[in-house]
Structure 1
Amino acid sequence: MPRTTIRIWTVLSALLITGIVLTQIYWMRNEYELQERQFLHRVTRALHKVASHVAQPTNDVTVDAQVITLSPDQYLVNLNVPFNSQKLDFHLGNELELHQVRARFDYGLYDTRVRQIVYQNLPEQTLETLSANGFVKPIQSPYYFVVHFPSQFHYLTQQMDFQILLSVIVLLLTAFFIYFFYGLFKQKSRTEEQREFMSNMTHELQTPIASIKLAADILLSPKITEQPERMRKYVRMVQEETMRLQQQVETVLTVARSEDSNGIKLHPICIDMHELLFHLADRHGDYLHLQLNAQHSIIQADRMHLVNVIGNLVDNAVKYTPKNPIIQLMTYNESDQLVVVVQDNGIGIAPEHQSHIFDAYYRAPGANAHSVKGFGLGLSYVQKIIKAHHWKLTLNSAVGQGTSFCIRIPQHTAHTQKELRVRSEE
C-alpha cells in the first residue's frame, strides 16, 4: 500500500476516533445535566409539599414557602410562619420517596438562639459561613431549614448505569482500534526496517567477499610465488577481510541470540584493556589517539565480544566524522571502576534520536549515505553486550560537536587486581 494512502487512512482514522470520543463526552455530559435538572425539579416539588405539611400558620396567614437552591446538592426552604420540626424528618423521607428521590439526605434547622443551622447528623454549620461562601442571600424570616444530599453525584451517576455501560463499551472498542492501528503501523515500520537491514547486510557482506575473492584469484596466479612481499600482502588482506566478515556475522547472531530465551552466553577471561586498545589502534590510522591513564586496566570480559564492542564504537566514530576525524580512546579509574571513553569530533546525534540509537535496525535520518552504510545493529549489539556483562554505557552528544560513549566497568580490589594481572600474563 502506498505511503500516501496510509497517511490518508491514518488521518481519517484519527479524526473518526476523535469524533467518537468527543461525541461520547458530549452525550454523557448532556445526560448528566438532564439527570441533574430532573433531580432539582423533583426535590423542589417534594420540599414544597414538605413545607405545606409541617407549617403551622396562625391567624389564617397564607403559607408562602420558598425553595432556594444553594448548590446542586443543598437546598434551603424558607417559610414565613413557624413549622413543626418534629414532623420534618417523617415528611421529608415520605415526600422524597413519593417524588422518586431516593438519595441519602441530611437536614438542618435554624436555631434562633445561637443563630446557627444545626444539622441532625453533621457538624454545625453557621449561617455566616454559608453567606460568606456565596451560597445564601440574607434570610429575613427565621423559619427555615436546609436539606443536604451528600451523595448526590453518586446517586445521579447510578441513574446512568446503562449509558455508562454503553460509553465504556464504545471506549473499549475505540481503544482496541487504536491498539490495532498502532500494532499495524509498528509492524509495517518493523518490516521496512528489516527490508533496509537486508539491503544493508547484502552490501556489507559483499564487500569483504569481493575482497577475499580478488585476493584468492591473485594468490592462484603462478607468478605470485615469485613476489613473496606481494603474496604476504594479499594473505593479510584475506585474513583481515575474513575477520571482518566473522565480526559482522557474529554481530547478527548475537542480536538474534539476545532475543532468545537463553540470552547471550559469555566466556569471561582476564584481559588487559590497554593491551587490547593498543592492538585495536594498529588497525587504524593517525586519526586514532590513545590516552590511557588508568592505573588498573585488568578486567574480566568475553574477549571476542569486547573487541567487537570497542571496534563498533570506533568504526561508528570514523563513519560519522566525514572530515578530519580525530578519534580519542581514553581510560581512567574512578571509584573501583575502569572507565573507557570513545570520543569523536563528528556530526553528533540530535537529542530526539539519542533514545532510539540502541534499537535494532534503527538508523537516524541522514545516516543512510553510502559512506556510512551498516546493518543498523552495531549500537544495539554494543548495548546488549554491555548489559550482559552488567556494565554501564552512557552517551553524550550534540549536533555538530561530536559524540562520546563512556563504558563503566566494575573492577576488583587491588589485591585481586594483582592476581588477575599475574593470571593474564600467564
Structure 2
Amino acid sequence: MALHMSRLTTRVLIVLSTLAIVGVVSTQVYWVRKAYELRERQFLQTVTKALSEVARRVARPETGVPVGVQVVTLSPAYYLVNLDAPIDPRKLEFYLGVELEIHQILTTFEYGVYDNTAGQIIYENSSRQRIETPASDGAALSSFSSPYYFVVRFPNQVHYLTQQLDNWILASLIVLLLTCFFIYLFYRMLTQKNRNEDQREFINNMTHELQTPISSIKIAADVLSSPKIMEQPERMLKYVRMVQEETLRLQQQVETVLTVARSENKGAFKIHSVAIDLHELLFHLAERHGDYLHLDLEAHYSVVQADRLHLVNVLGNLVDNAVKYTPVNPIIQLMTRNENGQLVIVVQDNGIGIAPEHQPHIFNAYYRAPGANAHSVKGFGLGLSYVQKIAKAHRWKLSVSSAPGRGSVFSIRIPQPIVEPIRKRSLKSEEL
C-alpha cells in the first residue's frame, strides 16, 4: 500500500511539474511575442510618420504649399508613399536618411521611384535584389490621386526589431536554462528514487532467496549429524545430495551478484575462455529439470570458446527464468542450430510473456516487470542483467522476442563455432 501511494505521489508530482514547466515556458513565449508585436507596431507608426515628413520635404519644399501625402503599409517592412508632386530621387534619398535617423530608425533601407503611367520603376537604390513593383496591388493603387509615388523597404526589419528585444531574449534563455536544469535534477531524483526502490526490492528478494538454501542445508546438516542416519544409507545419500544441490544453488546466486557488482568496475570483471562442448552442458542442465524441458539440438558444430562457469550460469538463468514465468503447464524448449557461421542458442517458453514497454528494461539490474515482485517468483532481479553482461563480455548477441500471454524466446548468437562436428542429438522430455 505504501509503495502504491509512493508511486501515485510520484506521478502526481511529475504531472504538476510538467504543467508548471509548460506554463512557465508558454508564459515566457507569450510575453516575448507580445513584446515583439509592440515593437513592430511602434516601428510601423514611426516609419509612417517619418515617410510622411520625407514626402512633404521632397514635394516642392520651396513654395511652402501643403502637399497631399498618402502612406500605404503593404507589410511591416514595405511601405508605399503617394504624393501630389514629381519626385527628385536625390532629394528623396537625402531626406530619407535624415528623417529615419531623426526618428531613430537605425537600420538599412532600400527605395524605388515608380512611374505609374509607364508602369515601371525609374530609379532604385537596391543593391541586393530588385524591388518588386507594387502595381499588382490594384486595391492600393486604385485609391491614389496622383501618379507620383515611391516605395521604401527595410530588408533587415525582423533582425532590427529582434535586436531591440535583447533583454527579453536573454531573460528567456535564462528561464530556458533554469527549466532544463530543473528537468535534469528532477530526472536524476526520479532515477535515484527508482534505483533505491529497486535496490530495496533486491535486498528483500536476496534475503528471501538466500534463506531458502541456507535453511535446506541446515536441515540436512541436522539430519546428517544424527547417529541413526548411519543406519539409513539411502536417506543419508538423499540428504547429502540435498546439501550438494543447495550449495551449488547458493554458489550460483552469490556468483551472479558478484559478477554484476564486478561488472560495474572496469578491469575487475574477467573472462577465462576454454573450449566447451555446449551440447554436453545442455544435457547436464536437462538432468536437473523435469519433463517440461525439451532439448532440440540441431547444431552440427557445438564447441565454443567461453568461460565455463559463466556459460553454465547463463544457461541456468535463462531456463530458470522460463520456468519461473510459466506458472501453469510449462513447456520449455532449449534449441541449438548453426546459422550464418554462428551457433544459435534458443530458450523458448509458453509463459506469461513480456509486454513491449517492459522489454527494453528487462536487462537492467534489479528491474522486474510489474507483477513479478512477489516472493512466489524467485530471484534477485539480476538474472537477465547477468546474462546480458556475460554475453557482452564474450561479444555474443543476446535478443528477446515476446508478447503477453504468448511466452518468450531468448536467443544467444555465438560467432564462429569451432572444432570438429559432433553427433547430432535430440533429447525430448521423455528421455530425461
Verify same fold: TM over 0.5: yes
Within the candidate set 355, 358, 366, 2:363 is matched to 358
Q: Distance in 2 between matches of 1:373 and 1:135?
A: 82
**TM-score (normalised: structure 1):** 0.90
The answer on whether the counterparts of 2:366 and 2:381 sit within 8 Å (CA) in structure 1 is yes
Within the candidate set 342, 346, 349, 2:347 is matched to 342
- Indicate the residue corresponding to 1:122 in structure 2: 128
- Indicate the residue corresponding to 2:80 in structure 1: 76
Q: Distance in 2 between matches of 1:60 and 1:174?
A: 61
Higher relative contact order (CA 8 A, sep 6+): 2
Higher deviation after alignment, 290-299 or 339-348 = 290-299
Higher deviation after alignment, 287-296 or 13-22 = 13-22
Q: Distance in 2 between matches of 1:135 and 1:156?
A: 29
The answer on whether the counterparts of 1:57 and 1:82 sit within 8 Å (CA) in structure 2 is no
Distance change in 2, residues 1:123/1:14 (3 Å): closer
Following superposition, the deviation at residue 411 of structure 1 comes to 0.7
* Matched residues, number: 415
Higher deviation after alignment, 174-183 or 243-252 = 174-183
Within the candidate set 191, 194, 211, 1:189 is matched to 194
Match of 2:376, SS state, is: helix
Following superposition, the deviation at residue 417 of structure 1 comes to 2.9
Match of 2:335, SS state, is: strand
Map Cα deviations across residues 132-185 of structure 1 (whole Å, 9 max, x no partner).
Answer: xx9966575442222222221211111111222222222222222222222222
Gaps of 5+ in 2: 423-432
Q: Distance in 2 between matches of 1:97 and 1:173?
A: 39
Map Cα deviations across residues 199-241 of structure 1 (whole Å, 9 max, x no partner).
Answer: 0000000011111111111111112222222222211211111
Q: Distance in 2 between matches of 1:135 and 1:398?
A: 66
Written as runs of structure 1 = structure 2, the 5 A alignment for 1:263-412 is 264-411=269-416
- Indicate the residue corresponding to 2:425 in structure 1: none
Distance change in 2, residues 1:136/1:275 (3 Å): farther
Distance change in 2, residues 1:309/1:111 (3 Å): farther
Following superposition, the deviation at residue 130 of structure 1 comes to 5.5
Match of 2:269, SS state, is: coil
Q: Distance in 1 between matches of 2:225 and 2:254?
A: 27
Q: Distance in 2 between matches of 1:248 and 1:347?
A: 24
- Indicate the residue corresponding to 2:426 in structure 1: none
Following superposition, the deviation at residue 334 of structure 1 comes to 1.2
Q: Distance in 2 between matches of 1:137 and 1:355?
A: 66
Following superposition, the deviation at residue 406 of structure 1 comes to 1.0
Within the candidate set 73, 86, 89, 1:85 is matched to 89
- Indicate the residue corresponding to 1:424 in structure 2: none
The answer on whether the counterparts of 1:272 and 1:299 sit within 8 Å (CA) in structure 2 is yes
Percent of paired sites with the same residue = 65
Within the candidate set 45, 57, 75, 1:53 is matched to 57
The answer on whether the counterparts of 2:363 and 2:384 sit within 8 Å (CA) in structure 1 is yes
Written as runs of structure 1 = structure 2, the 5 A alignment for 1:214-233 is 214-233=219-238
Following superposition, the deviation at residue 370 of structure 1 comes to 2.9
The answer on whether the counterparts of 2:342 and 2:415 sit within 8 Å (CA) in structure 1 is yes
Q: Distance in 2 between matches of 1:402 and 1:9?
A: 35
The answer on whether the counterparts of 1:130 and 1:136 sit within 8 Å (CA) in structure 2 is no
Higher deviation after alignment, 31-40 or 172-181 = 172-181
Following superposition, the deviation at residue 33 of structure 1 comes to 1.0
Distance change in 2, residues 1:119/1:409 (3 Å): farther
Match of 1:206, SS state, is: helix
Q: Distance in 2 between matches of 1:372 and 1:61?
A: 100
Following superposition, the deviation at residue 383 of structure 1 comes to 1.0
Distance change in 2, residues 1:322/1:147 (3 Å): same
Higher deviation after alignment, 142-151 or 11-20 = 11-20
The answer on whether the counterparts of 1:56 and 1:83 sit within 8 Å (CA) in structure 2 is no
Written as runs of structure 1 = structure 2, the 5 A alignment for 1:49-198 is 49-56=53-60, 62-111=66-115, 113=118, 115-116=120-121, 120-127=126-133, 131=137, 138=142, 140=144, 141-198=146-203
Following superposition, the deviation at residue 328 of structure 1 comes to 0.4
